[in-house]
Chain A
Amino acid sequence: MLKIENLHASVEGAEILKGLTIEVPAGEVHAVMGPNGAGKSTLSHVVAGRDDYDVTADEVSLGGEDLLELDPSERAAKGLFLSFQHPMEIPGVATMNFIRTALNAQRKAREEPEVSAAEFLKLIREKAKLVGLTDEKLKRPFNVGFSGGEKKRMEMLQMAILAPQFCIMDETDSGLDIDALKMVGDVVNALRGPGRGFLVITHYQRLLEYIRPDRVHVLADGRIVKSGGADLAAELEASGYEQFIEAA
């Protein structure tokens, strides 16, 4: 499904990703864990197509399709979703209107019929309930005045509505309380299934108690330095990242 081979990314001459290789097969959830500054957020931004980086790779593909030549909106239309670590507040942008515009832009790019206003309203109401956002919040300008936790709920709402093929979740757990963590777990577990993949980027093991990963990878100094099963997360929690920082 998502295949990344020998990915290098640098910004203003400083290399952040140094030959990263990872593959997430369809239907699997992989976790990427690592210390601060390892390149976790860079990985998510580069795969999503942010153009502030100089990028080279042998391959970055989704479902066999090359992503590197596509701009961010084309990657989104191919089914790639990024849950942002720090979601934007966008004053003046009506939340529901924006999400519907995004959904229909993707559907149009895939030559699928657009979703009507009535269908969309039904869809967003249903998913908002799932992520715990009230109607009042949906009527506000996008994320304006939202707490950190509410912004993450808004990310999960968009993920549930857009139902992407592949989700990169960039530290979705940061700043969340137990109830919100459980909500994130519920959204992911509901979407999880054959044909859909997840890359869950996190600093802590907490979220992985709600989303049991198929594989865990350790990212340190721009490379995957260790991979293992779900138990590796607990091991890391106990031993810390120190060993990998030194090794790298």
Chain B
Amino acid sequence: MALASFKNPSPYEARLREEFAARGDAAGSESAWNAFAAAGLPHRRLEGWRWTDLRGALAEAGGDGVAAPSVGLSIEDALVIDIPDGEARIHNASGVEGLSIRLTSDRDGPFAPSHAVSDLTRAFVSDIVRIDVAENAHIDRPILLRHRAAGGRRGARVELVVADGASVAIFETVESGDASFHHLLMQADVGAGAKLTRAILQAGAASSVVAGVSSARLGKDARLDQASILLGGKLARLETRLNFVGEGASASMDSAVLVGGARHADITTVVAHEAPGCETRQRHKGVADGKARAVFQGKFFVARDGQRTDADMQANALLLSDGAQANHKPELEIYADDVECAHGSTCGALDDEALFYLRQRGLSEAAARALLIEAFVGEVIDDMDARVAPAARAIVEAWLEERQL
């Protein structure tokens, strides 16, 4: 197969092509490359990327020498998969009944979304982490998936199949170092009556770029509970695409973004209600300080077959400085006539009255502000899986402490 080239490649795109062409193990991934090259890196002239310019962020090289921050998630009995610098290592995962975790180069996994980050990742990553949960198996021990990029371009690809009636929890950390570009793809298939619990904690150096896309297909009465906490980077975007393909499937999708300095974080979601009687609850909390930007784009799509869809999306932003920005784009696209879909979006500063109240009770101004910010994102953390919530709370507290310096 001929290797496609970009039209007017940016220097970074030209480097990617050289890198790809030089690979010895590229066989079988040319089509993914060609799909990627046809559109190139997403940039701000594309509607879905207008606030998150991936091509622009990768245009200027150079970092500040700061290593990848740690989000410090450790869970005693977790089954651990480490993906440091793009090479996956699976620890202690054998011998759990009903669970298989392995590396594969079989590229015909489930449900790859058509998406630049997906194409790029499928082109470059040949070692796929494949997780299978057998029918009706309930995996008590959580899977801990640790993505780490010390520097340079690092990709990771995970496939997850939760068979009918099974359940599993997967907690991910994404730590990105100085001047790194981290691109991640997760594809998940959640069978009928199956349950997937997912949490993502992200922290990156100020010069790091992260783009992750996850797609999940949910069968009849399947359930997904997902929560993400992002601290951003030069640019950090986590995109989730859900497809309800079976009747009665449901999901909660919560996210909190805390960004300061000149950081940028983006939560983008598309939930497609393609079967009847599905339910989505989505909450987003964005906190931006300094000259940072917190982006939220949420879309509910309801197909003609999505009758009795019940979907609610609430996005709230808290701006802590004059230079901070929040961009929200809630969207509804509905083709069924018997649905309940709602969305709300707010943006504001800390409440002066509440600050005065707390200070009157003896809290310093800094402590009062921290308490209110913690309370703002607290709802999202309180509802997280109890095994991961303490770590999420700790990274929020660390962020607040750092901010006060």
- A residues at B contact (CB < 8 Å): 45, 48-50, 52, 71-73, 75-77, 81-82, 84, 87-88, 90-93, 98-99, 101-103, 105-106, 109, 141, 158, 162
Query: In whole angstroms, how far apart are the Cα atoms of A105 and B358 in the complex?
Result: 11
Closest to B356 in A: A50
User: Do B362 and A73 touch across chains, with their CB atoms under 8 A apart?
Assistant: yes
Given contacts A48-B360, A90-B372, 9 further A-B contacts (CB under 8 A): A72-B359, A72-B360, A77-B362, A88-B351, A91-B379, A92-B378, A103-B362, A105-B361, A105-B367
Kindly list chain B residues whose C-beta atoms are within 8 Å of the C-beta of A75. 360
Q: How far is the CA of A103 from the CA of B362 in the complex (A)?
A: 7
Residue numbers of B with Cβ under 8 A of A are: 351-354, 356-365, 367-368, 371-372, 374-379
The answer on a CB contact under 8 Å between B357 and A73 is no
Q: How far is the CB of A42 from chain B (nearest CB, A)?
A: 13
Do A102 and B354 form a contact, CB below 8 Å, given A92-B376, A92-B378, A92-B379? Answer: no
Q: Which residues of B contact A158 (CB under 8 A)?
A: 361
The smallest C-beta distance from A161 to any residue of chain B, in angstroms, reads: 10
Q: Is the CB of A90 within 8 A of B375?
A: yes
Residue in contact with A109 in the complex, picked from B357, B362, B371, B372, CB distance below 8 Å: B362
**CB-defined contacts of A77 to chain B, threshold 8 Å:** 362
CB distance from B375 to the nearest CB of A (A): 3
A11 to chain B, nearest CB (A): 13
Ordered by A's residue number, 16 sampled pairs between the chains whose C-beta atoms are within 8 Å are A49-B359, A71-B359, A71-B365, A72-B359, A73-B359, A73-B360, A76-B360, A77-B362, A84-B360, A90-B357, A91-B375, A93-B372, A93-B375, A102-B358, A105-B363, A162-B361
| Of A82, A88, A158, most B-chain CB atoms within 10 Å | A88
Chain B residues, Cβ within 8 Å of A91 = 375, 379
Q: Complex formed: what's the CA distance from A109 to B374 in Å?
A: 23
CB distance from A22 to the nearest CB of B (A): 20
Contacts of B364 in A (CB 8 A): 73, 105
CA distance A186 to B360 in the complex (A): 23
Which of B351, B357, B376, B379 is A87 in contact with, Cβ under 8 Å? B357
Tell me which residues across on chain A come within 8 A of B352, comparing CB atoms. Answer: 52
Which residue of chain B has the shortest Cβ distance to A52 in the bound complex? B352
A98–B378 Cα distance when bound, in Å, is 14
Chain B residues with Cβ under 8 A from A99's Cβ?
361
- Residues in chain B near residue A103, CB distance under 8 A: 362
Cβ-closest chain B residue relative to A92: B375
**A162→B363 CA distance, assembly (Å):** 13
Closest 5 CB pairs of A and B: A92-B375, A72-B359, A92-B378, A102-B361, A106-B362
Where chain A touches its partner, the secondary structure class is helix
**Across-interface contacts of B372 in A (CB, < 8 A):** 90, 93
Distance between Cα atoms of A137 and B31 in the complex (Å): 61
B358 contacts across to A, CB distance below 8 A: 90, 98, 102
- A42 to B365 Cα, complex, angstroms: 21
> Cβ of B371 and Cβ of A101 under 8 Å apart?
yes
Q: Cβ of B354: which chain A residues have Cβ within 8 Å of it?
A: 88, 90
**Residues A101 and B363 in contact in the complex (CB < 8 Å), given A90-B375, A92-B379:** yes
CB neighbours of B379 from chain A (8 A):
91-92
Nearest-Cβ distance from residue A92 to partner chain B, whole angstroms: 3
Of all chain B residues, the one with the shortest Cβ separation from A77 is: B362
Closest to B354 in A: A88
B375 contacts A102, C-beta separation under 8 Å: no
CB distance from B300 to the nearest CB of A (A): 25
* Cβ contacts under 8 Å, A87 to chain B: 357
Nearest-CB residue, chain B, relative to A108: B362
With a CB–CB cut-off of 8 A, which chain B residues contact A48?
356, 360
Contact of B362 among A45, A52, A84, A102 (CB under 8 A): A102
Q: Please give, as numbers and ranges, the residues of chain A lying within 8 Å of B375 by CB-CB distance.
A: 90-93, 141
> Which residues on B sit within 8 Å (CB–CB) of A90?
354, 357-358, 372, 375
Q: Give the residues in chain B near A93, CB-CB below 8 Å.
A: 371-372, 375, 378
Does A98 lie within 8 Å of B371, measured CB to CB? yes
Cross-chain contact B360 with A49 (CB below 8 angstroms)? yes
Nearest Cβ on chain A to B374's Cβ, whole angstroms: 7
B317 to nearest A CB, angstroms?
A: 15
**In the complex where A92-B379, A93-B375, A98-B371 touch, is A76 in contact with B362 (Cβ < 8 A)?**
yes
Report the separation of the CA atoms of residues A91 and B376 in the bound assembly, to the nearest whole angstrom.
8
Give Cα A158 to B357, complex, Å: 12
* Residues on B with beta carbons closer than 8 Å to the beta carbon of A49: 359-360
Q: Which residues of A contact B357 (CB under 8 A)?
A: 84, 87-88, 90
Minimum Cβ distance to chain B for residue A153 (Å)? 16
A12 CB, nearest partner CB in chain B, Å: 15
Q: Which residues of A contact B353 (CB under 8 A)?
A: 88
Complex contacts, A106 vs chain B, CB 8 Å: 362
What distance in Å separates the Cβ of B216 from its nearest Cβ neighbour in chain A? 29
B contact residues around A98 at 8 Å (CB)? 358, 361, 371
Which residues in A have their C-beta under 8 angstroms from that of B371?
93, 98, 101
A70 to chain B, nearest CB (A): 11
Chain A nearest Cβ from B2, distance in angstroms: 56
Shortest C-beta distance, B283 to chain A (Å), equals: 12
Asked whether, in the complex, the Cβ of B362 is within 8 Å of the Cβ of A82, the reply is no
Chain A positions within 8 Å of B378 at CB level: 92-93
Distance in Å: Cβ of A83 to nearest Cβ of chain B: 10
8 Å CB contact of B360 from A52, A82, A109 = A82
